[in-house]
Chains A and B, each alone.
Chain A
Amino acid sequence: MNSKWRTIVFFIAAAGFSCLYFLGVKNLPPWGHYRGPYGDLISAVGVYERHATDAVNAIDYDYRGFDTLGEEFILFTSVLGVMLLLREMKRPPKTSPPDKGLSDAVKASAGAGFAALVIFGIYMTTHGQLTPGGGFQGGVIVASASMLVYIAENFPVYKQITSHPLVEILESLGAGFYVIIGLVPLVLATPFLTNWMPLGKTGNVFSSGTIAAISASVGLEVAAGFLLLGYTYLEEIISDTGEESRE
């Protein structure tokens, strides 16, 4: 197929897609005119029922908490899959790559950025029920801070900090706490994932019951999961002997 025919086929396909797109978008309500009942219902009732001022987190970790449990385990299994595919084969002790010799200024500013990112990530995780944010976003922010360590220092230092077994345990704990928090109501003869913790005062950090607790456990799971992902990928790239053992 030459490039002229390819262009013609593209324009036919583009015309078809734009027709479908136009048909799909035509009957959407205009911006700011919400028509469904659920959003209005939850924003009216959420603060009184759950003491959580951020409706999105109240929905995510409480009203449809079961779906979020599934989503969390999607992440858990994909991290598991990456680690299984890129697992360490038998390899001789590798020589550490030479220190890149970055200046002290870079190292110091990376350290400051690391501290700021970790604190901001923890803030985001613990304040999900009050302001936009939550466990997922906070966890990724904490994990991305570790990349600064890799940039400023060399790989062995990065490896020490993301010391393998501990991060794995933390990830499993994060995923497990969610299920445990959800299972407790079954003992009290109420449905799975009922908000059984004291709701506290609206606007406090320790409020909204299980929403804050689940957000924290998701934050732990996501942070450890992304640390493992970054570590596994970098290990694969940096180790010089990974390929030979597989071929």
Chain B
Amino acid sequence: MMWFQISLLALIAISALGVVQTRSVTSQVLALSFYGLLLAVMFFVFQAPDVALSQITVGAVALPLMVMLAQANMKHRGRRRDEKKKT
């Protein structure tokens, strides 16, 4: 049992490094979502199911969604600015 928890914590550390090392924003959001899901599993394993549910909804769904929407917004604005420069 203890080995499972240790390997889970190690996996979380590795995936946190993966989030930081990812350069493309879209891939980074997906990595962040995966990292949030792993954190939820960790909370569940350490016997905090309520916190795990909050972590799934906020860390794995709401936060990546907001970042994705913000990124789509910025891309859209950038494209429109380019079009304006051309005309």
Does the CB pair B49–A132 fall under 8 Å?
A: yes
B57 lies within 8 A of chain A by Cβ? yes
A218 → chain B closest CB, angstroms: 12
Main DSSP-derived SS at the A contact region: helix
Chain B residues, CB < 8 A from A230: 65, 69
Q: Mark B58-84, 1 if CB is under 8 A from A, else 0.
A: 100110011001101100110010000
Cβ of A13 under 8 Å from chain B: no
Q: Is the CB of B73 within 8 A of A237?
A: yes
> In the assembled complex, which residues on chain B have CB atoms less than 8 Å from the CB atom of A133?
50, 53
Closest to A121 in B: B57
Main secondary structure of the interface of B (DSSP, over half): helix
B76 contacts A237, C-beta separation under 8 Å: yes
Q: At the interface, yes or no: B46 with Cβ under 8 Å from chain A?
A: yes
Contacts of A136 in B (CB 8 A): 54, 57
Chain A neighbourhood of B61, CB < 8 A:
140, 144
Q: Is A226 within 8 A of B50, CB to CB? A: no
Number of A-B contacts (CB under 8 A): 46
Say whether A237 contacts B72, CB under 8 Å: yes
Question: Nearest-CB distance from B50 to chain A (Å)?
Answer: 4
Shortest distance between the CB of B58 and any CB in chain A (Å): 7
On chain B, the residues within 8 Å of A22 by CB distance are none
Say yes or no: A56-B70 contact (C-beta < 8 A), given A141-B57, A147-B65.
no
In the complex, per-residue mask of A72-113: 1 if CB is within 8 Å of any chain B CB, else 0: 000000000000000000000000000000000000000000
Kindly report which residue of chain A lies nearest to residue B55, judged by CB atoms: A137
Contacts of B65 in A (CB 8 A): 144, 147, 230
User: A226 to B54, Cβ gap below 8 A?
Assistant: no
Provide the bound-state CA to CA distance between A134 and B77, in Å. Answer: 38
Taking CB atoms, residues of chain B closer than 8 Å to A124 are: 53
Bound Cα distance A136, B5 (Å):
28
Q: A137-B57, A233-B69, A233-B70 are in contact. Are A243 and B77 (CB under 8 A)?
A: yes
B-side contacts of A141, CB under 8 Å:
57
Complex formed: what's the CA distance from A230 to B72 in Å? Answer: 13
- On chain A, the residues within 8 Å of B50 by CB distance are 54, 56-57, 132-134
Residues of B contacting A233 with CB < 8 Å? Answer: 66, 69-70, 73
In chain A, what residue has the closest Cβ to B51?
A56
Partner of B80, one of A31, A56, A226, A243: A243
Interface contacts beyond A134-B50, A137-B53, A229-B66: sample of 20 additional A-B pairs, CB < 8 Å, sorted by A: A31-B46, A124-B53, A132-B49, A132-B52, A136-B57, A137-B54, A140-B58, A140-B62, A144-B57, A144-B62, A226-B62, A230-B65, A233-B66, A233-B69, A233-B70, A236-B73, A237-B72, A237-B73, A243-B77, A243-B80
